[in-house]
Amino acid sequence: MNETLQTISRRFSCRDYEGRLPEREKLEAIALAAVQSPSAMNRQPWQVLVITNKSLIEEMDAEGMRILAEAEDKSTYERFMERGGTLFYNAPCMYLILKKPGTDLDTGIVSENISLAASSLGLDNVICGMAAIPFNGSKGDEFKKKVGISDGWEFGMAVLVGYGKTKKDPHTPDISKIRYIE
């Protein structure tokens, strides 16, 4: 197996981070990999924000957990309480991908480039759709202003990155989902 396939096969979603910030060169290499993603008609309908401001990440985390706690359906809140009571697992870095409306697929590809680039550099990570929550609550405009989301742009996806405290096996691939039509 070559290095790319090894990185793909070993990637897993990390939900438990050390506070230590990854090295700046690694964060920059991941950001570059993000904007090297392919996109439909090469429109590059994204902005990639590398957030390492600890208090901002903690503030968004607390607001997200507050919103989940107040939701009618408590199951998501309970799941995150079981995982340690944080939405972002104390990750020291969040790649926040902003997108133009209707470009989910492009955003997904950027997310995976970030995830695989991080994994290839020995950094743990998890794609985090839950990061949308703080932007949709009563403090949403405040957070949008703090990170600089201007008109015409919206939350696309987030990827949390750092050094994991614990490692996990990747999910077992279901090869029955593959069919060869010859």
Distance CA 107, CA 97 (A): 7
Question: In the numeric block, which tokens belong to residue 84?
Answer: 């340690």
Taking a C-beta distance cutoff of 8 angstroms, is the pair 121, 30 a contact? Answer: yes
- Total number of residues shown for the chain: 182
Q: Taking CB under 6 A as the rule, does residue 15 contact ligand FMN?
A: yes
Residue 108, token pair as written in the block: 């997904």
Residue 126 sits in the site that holds ligand FMN (CB under 6 A): yes
Nearer to ligand FMN, 43 or 79 (CB): 79
- Contact between 163 and ligand FMN (CB under 6 A)? no
Minimum CB separation of residue 15 from ligand FMN in Å reads: 5
Nearer to ligand FMN, 151 or 173 (CB): 173
Residue that is written with structure tokens 């985390």 in the block: 61
Place of tokens 């202003």: 145
Stretch that binds ligand FMN, among 10-18, 22-30, 67-75, 147-155 (CB under 6 A): 10-18
The footprint of ligand FMN (CB under 6 A) covers 12-13, 15, 126-130, 170-171
